[in-house]
Amino acid sequence: MRKKRNIWLFVVVLLAISLLYAWYERSISEDGIVIHVIDVGQADCAVIESPDGNVIIDTGTDASEHIVRAYLQSHGLTSFSYMILSHPHDDHIGNADMILREFEVERVICAENQSETPIWLNFLRLMEEQILCGDLVWVKPDIGDVFWIGALRIEVLMSPSKDNPGENNDSLLLRTDYGDCSMLWTGDAEHKAEEAFLSNIPVERLCVDFLKVAHHGGSGSSSESFLQAVRPQLAVISCGQDNSFGHPHEETLRRLEAVGSQIYRTDLHGSFRLLCNGKEFLLLSSVHENARSVWR
Ligand SMILES: [Zn+2]
């Protein structure tokens, strides 16, 4: 009789634990945002998925078109409140035209660059067509601009002046916040831009939990003084496997380790997703690892 009671007790406890776990999983996924870092080789492409709208930040090279399309479709990411382009280099805007054509985009945030590349000029033409039809708004960012998508806050910390040539150092610097979690998006900004960030932006605005490491981990970016200000717990590097630039450079990795950053790289981990519930980041999945890690 006693043995039977113990078995019932065990079943009830097990059921309660399962229900609690299911409730926890559902509540954080309903409340949180998911950051998708998409493996597009030697390029950048990330999505912030939120219950109130999605943001895509850079779009990879045109060579990765099928990867980006398949990734977005397989994760149900069919519409974007904002498409943000850090600067007009091919490895950041390569699929911007495909996304405008095949996905729903409400607004594009990018500077009025003076780039003459065919990819940029094609994209401008397409953007102007959609603006004329009333389907799209072009937001030309200014320093201090703030955009909200539900509880997700996007702030332009640094924006290039009008008619900039769109080089690496003209990259947009964005900060995104969700609850207590903060993220910094740097495009390909190099040391010269970082010096400007340090002299123009209060250190407390630069200090974040998550850093999209600039310029694919190249040593011409992520200076010691910049990283000392940012001090990210989580550093994300988007670069191609065995790329010809040798990215990420050893010096960059050492500087990130020196400030205590945990480093995630698309060349090693493939595409991965991070859940941010407003308090911490949780690694949901990566192509090459099954590990579940938490950063607070
Ligand atoms: Zn780049």
Taking only the tens place, the pLDDT of each residue in 161-178 is 777 888 999 999 999 999
Q: How far is the CA of 4 from the centre of ligand 1 (A)?
A: 65
pLDDT at residue 258 in the model: 97
Q: How far is the CA of 111 from the centre of ligand 1 (A)?
A: 16
Q: What value does the CA radius of gyration of the chain take, rounded to a whole number of Å?
A: 21
**Average pLDDT of 148-171?**
90
Average pLDDT over all residues of the chain: 91
CA 243 to chain centre: 21
Coil vs helix vs strand at 149: strand
**pLDDT beyond 60 at 22:** no
Domain boundaries, given as residue ranges, for the chain: 32-289
Q: How far is the CA of 50 from the centre of ligand 1 (A)?
A: 25
Q: How far is the CA of 63 from the centre of ligand 1 (A)?
A: 14
Q: How far is the CA of 210 from the centre of ligand 1 (A)?
A: 18
| Residue 291's pLDDT band (cuts 50, 70, 90) | very low
**pLDDT beyond 80 at 276:** yes
pLDDT at residue 15 in the model: 74
- Beta strands (DSSP E) in the chain are 33-37, 45-50, 53-59, 79-84, 104-109, 137-139, 146-149, 152-158, 173-178, 181-185, 210-212, 234-237, 262-265, 272-276, 281-286, 294-295
pTM for the model stands at 0.86
pLDDT at residue 292 in the model: 45
pLDDT at residue 181 in the model: 97
Higher per-residue confidence, 163 vs 70: 70
Q: How far is the CA of 121 from the centre of ligand 1 (A)?
A: 18
Lookup: tokens for 227: 């990283």
pLDDT at residue 290 in the model: 42
Lookup: tokens for 134: 């009333």
| Residue 35's pLDDT band (cuts 50, 70, 90) | very high
Sequence letter at residue 92? H
- Beta strands (DSSP E) in 171-271 are 173-178, 181-185, 210-212, 234-237, 262-265
pLDDT at residue 105 in the model: 98
Q: Pairing relation of β-strands 181-185 and 272-276?
A: unpaired
**pLDDT beyond 50 at 180:** yes
Sequence letter at residue 282? L
**pLDDT beyond 70 at 19:** no
Share of the chain above pLDDT 70, in %: 91
**pLDDT beyond 50 at 222:** yes
Q: How far is the CA of 60 from the centre of ligand 1 (A)?
A: 9
pLDDT at residue 166 in the model: 83
| CATH number belonging to the domain at 32-289, selected among 3.30.365.10, 3.60.15.10, 1.10.287.3510, 3.90.650.10 | 3.60.15.10
Q: How far is the CA of 152 from the centre of ligand 1 (A)?
A: 25
- Cα separation, 275 vs 205, in Å, equals 22
**pLDDT beyond 80 at 32:** yes
